[in-house]
Every structure is written in structure tokens, then in C-alpha cells.
Amino acid sequence: MEAATSLNRLELLQIADAVAREKSIEKDIVLGAMEEAVQKAARSKYGVENEIRAEIDRKTGEIRVARLLEVVDKVENDATQIALTDALVRNPDAQVGDFILEPLPPIDFGRIAAQTAKQVIVQKVREAERERQYTEYKDRIGEIVNGLVKRVEYGNVTVDLGRAEGVLRRDELLPRESFRQGDRVRSYIYDVRREQRGPQIFMSRTHPTFMAKLFAQEVPEVYDSIIEIRAVARDPGSRAKIAVMSNDSSIDPVGACVGMRGSRVQAVVNELQGEKIDIIQWSPDPATFIVNALAPAEVAKVVLDEESRRIEVVVPDEQLSLAIGRRGQNVRLASQLTGWDIDILTEKEESERRQAEFRQRSQMFIDSLDVDETIAQLLVTEGFASVEEVAYVPADELAAIGGFDEELAGELIRRANDYLEARNAEYTRERVALGVEDAVAAINGLTPAMLVTLGKAGVKTLDDLGDLAADELLEMLPDGGLGEAEANDVIMAARAHWFGDEASAGDGAAAPA
């Protein structure tokens, strides 16, 4: 009988060892699960009110079961407490408040107890396996992994990664790409999440970083960080643009990524089902970078608006379709790559627009300053775009324009100021008629024109203005010339009386005391 028991004990350790190896988890976790299973079975036998402890000897495999008892002066619960006098018999050093273990006879597992124990062990091992998968793969976010297709359901592909399963959702696959069971697939881990059914490893073949990582595998200079991939924009399965720069002036980043006879870029293209890739030289200068990004189209001229990150690109008439690309693909990818909004005009369109602007501004000066067409056109040619610019320019600067003298400059400045005064007076009358309070008009930064616009939008009191957020105010005044900081200053000025009221209320409350 003793020999058989020893064999069972030895088998127990061997089973724990085998499970730990198969599931790639610690042997101690498996034995811990077994101990918990024995505890559960012992509780069923001796009663759930008992505090049972089970221990498996890590060397011999012997199972020891004991009941945990608290040493007390007066026993109120036989199942969890023991009198001090009884405890001293077992342990002469026992004191009230100590816990002692009372050995219990080894339990004989019945069929139900064995089944329960098995369920506990399986559950604990599964939890440990899931935790191991999560900790292993959460640190692999951003890596490319290879796997075998396990199954395909509704276009979603489950991939066997060896020690875990990953999922390639249908929208993370390249268009017209299909896999069958047993196919080998390479993809990019972009997220790992803990979920009820275990860790979910989300993979992608359409992610921009997937392409960057493929280049790192094919181009040693990228892997060694001699060449940096600064940006990637993809239209998955169709076309992509990738911006590269070199940290070594002797190495051409574009040539290194293309490879001898295109061998390196071709390897990436083949992996991505023939996706065409434009490799572009990155530049710290936005205009140069955007011109490069619009390749293969040639650019004649660019006009940047740094504040709104918008750029106007002028191309020769015959280059328009090439710059825009099929279904706007080229300009869309260039915009994604650079992070700028790109407007494309032909040279003819730009010339027509410039002429229309010239005529419009000239007419504005003719009407507002009561001057002839020649003077109006001279002002526009010199870069004046508004009456305010004429009103506030130093007289000597205006007199320096060819064909102007000091007398004409002084007269133009006077007329510009008269026009602005008359216009502001009209705006003030309209503001009063709309019911916009004088307190709102007194706020620095708001012009009479802005006050009329606010009145038409229903903003008439300090409280109305104070209730707005900066972006709401800017939306109401798109051409007001306010920046975000100025808008915040205006709103805080409108709210100032709230804090004054609170202080007064606080003083009033404090007075009786």
C-alpha cells in the first residue's frame, strides 16, 4: 500500500511538471491550483464552516491537510477556534490570538470531489495561461509576428502564433486578400487587451506602422537607425507614401530603401499584395516636404498658412490630374503624410483668382477712400489689403510709393480714418439697436464689427459672452482676427464680474459673525 501511495505522490509531481511545460507556466502555479482543489474537496468532506489548508510537498508530493484554528480564551465556534488550554498541549508557546494548524486525516477523493478538483485545477491553469499570454504579448505591441491561419469566420482571421492566438479583423486585411486554413501570415500587433474570454491580440496588415516595420526588416540601415522613417501614409492595397531621412550625410535614404534594382522595396510590395510605394525624402522645411510628397507631380509655387497648417500649391495646368491623382489619392496621401491641408490650383486658376482679388481690392479702395482707379491699383500693388492698413501706416512710408507725395499720403490717411470712424459709428448704432450691452462693448479686443456679429448671434450680455467657450467664440467670429489666446482673454474679461459678485456675497455672509 505504501509503495502505491509513493507512486501516486510521484505521479502528482510528474503531472504538475507536464502541465507546466505544456502550458508554458510555472510548476508552482499548477501545484498551487492542485492545493486549492484539495482544499475545496476537504471543505466538502469536513464542512464548509472549517478553514482548511492543504499543502503539497514540493519534493515528495505528499498531500497534507490541516484545519486552521484561532487560539482564544473562550471558544464560540468549534470549527475555527481552539481554547488556550487545548492549544498549549499541542504547542507550549501558543498565545491568545495565534493560529495553529490541526492535522486532518488524508482525504479519499470520491468521484464528485475528484471532478470538482479537476475543474478547479483546469480553471486555475487556464487563468495562469491567459495571464502569461497577456504579459508576454502586451510587451510585443508594435512588433511584426508570423503565424498560421487557424480558422476564417465571416472574413475575420484567427492566427495561431504558437503560444497564443491573434485575430486579424476583416477591416485590418488588405482589400481582395483572402486566407485559408494553414496559410502562413505576417502581421503587426497593434493592441493587446484583457477580456472576459482571455487576452485578445489584435493584429493588422493595413496599419501604417506595418509598412515601416517591413522596411526595417528589409533595409539594414533602417534597422540600425541610420535611416529614419518619419511618416507613413497608406491607402491599403493600392498606394502608399513613406517619408525617410538619413542621419548619415553620405547615405541616400531614398536609394537605400529602394535597393539595388528595386529589390528592397519590391520585397515590401510583394508582402503587401502589390501596393505601390512612393519613397520620399523628408525635410524639416514644410514647403519642401510637401513639394516632395506630391511627387511625381511638379509644383510651380506654394503659399503657406502656418497658423491653420494649410498650404496652397500651384501646379502647371497639364500637371493637375497627376497632382490630384486618381480619385484624389495622391493629394490625400500627401496631406496625411505631411499633416497639412493641401489645396491644389493650376497656374491659370491662380492667375485668374489673383486678378479677381486685385480688381476687388482696387474697387474697395475706390469706394471707401473716394480715389481714382490708378491710386487704388497702386495701393493694392504695394500690398495694402484693407482700409485699416492705410489708416495706420506711417505717412512717410505711404509717401515713398512711386507717384505719391506727402500731401497725397496725408490726404489718404485722413480719408481712411474718416471712413473707419463713419463705419464704426454705423456699427455702434446697429449694436445698440440689437441690444448688446455697453459693458460688452467695453471689453478690450472686441471691435464694433465683432459686437454686431455677436448681437446677431444672440450674445448681448456679459453673462451670454461668459457662458461661451473659446472655440464657440472663434466660430462666431471666423474673420474677426482673434486667436485662441485673445478669445480666452475676452471670455475671462466677461466672467470677471462673476468673481466680484462671489467676493461681495462672501463679505456679506461674514459681516454678521
pLDDT tens digits, residue range 142-157? 888 888 988 888 888 8
CATH code linked to domain 140-206: 2.40.50.140
CB of 358 closer than 8 Å to CB of 380 = yes
Where in the chain are the domains? 2-131, 140-206, 225-342, 435-513
pLDDT value for 245: 92
Beta bridge partners of 160: 148, 165
Measured between alpha carbons, how far is residue 117 from residues 37, 39, 41, 48, 114 in Å? 4, 9, 7, 15, 5
Mapped onto helix, strand or coil, the DSSP state of residue 440 is helix
pTM: 0.58
Stretches in the chain below the pLDDT threshold 50: 1-7, 503-505, 508-513
Q: Indicate the CATH number of 2-131 among 3.40.50.12370, 3.30.70.20, 3.10.290.10, 3.30.1480.10.
A: 3.30.1480.10
CB of 38 closer than 8 Å to CB of 107 = yes
Same fold, 140-206 and 225-342: no
pLDDT value for 507: 52
Q: Indicate the CATH number of 225-342 among 3.65.10.10, 2.60.40.3120, 3.30.300.20, 3.90.226.10.
A: 3.30.300.20
Quickly name the fold that domain 435-513 has: DNA polymerase; domain 1 (1.10.150)
DSSP state, 174?
P
